[in-house]
Structure 1
């Protein structure tokens, strides 16, 4: 029985799947998103060109995004909160309308006592009140909200895969 051809570490998986080498590259970028392809290559055993090709494939396929993670307080965000939204009827149009609110940075449909969870970043308590009262509660289909303002952030990470 012939053996399957072993994939070279420099070659990404042909089916677009993320392989172990991709995960190593991603881990390097998560540690420092500005790390050079040459340095990443030294860590994972590939050439600079092979790392560049793999990163470009991961970005093009939308498997990863390379972004700057900011400190919201440095940009005037003083109040952050999660808002649970109860919906009367179809969740999708409500979730789509919530996503259009500028202070909203996260919208997810959930199962349980609420239908949608929303994370907001506001300049102050008055802004939070306006988002809830004149924004979220005015959307057709919103039956109610429950708000949990954040008092202190202890941890925020973006690791993948999770440890």
Structure 2
């Protein structure tokens, strides 16, 4: 059972929607703003989690590493990767308050990709396990753990 106020769910849903929009528009300067000062962003396959393997596609355990990821995308890897566009479809499936102004949120996702204006394909499916903090300024991720159903269809450059 989800017990919440409509204002809290609007803030959480606005964050989830903004996250998808920022990634799909590749607005890398805005991506770190979706995270709190003390934060983490990780991407693991469910298989690795079930087997107790610490291997991760992405492991940004603090804000500095999230900022580094943006720098790699925009400066280090620029011109050396095959760029692609993404489209995120996200559906919140769970929300529970765990502390004042702090929520655990789970949402399923499908991410498709398109390279060079060719046909689109399915990049990844899975779910997000988030800890979200809500303030008068809106909601931010304290942690975002991406759980992939399987290995992605191609290499990952951009956050999911």
Q: TM-score range by the shorter chain?
A: under 0.3
Whichever structure has more strand as a proportion of its residues is 2
Higher RCO structure, 1 or 2 (CA under 8 Å, sep 6+): 2
Whichever structure has more helix as a proportion of its residues is 1
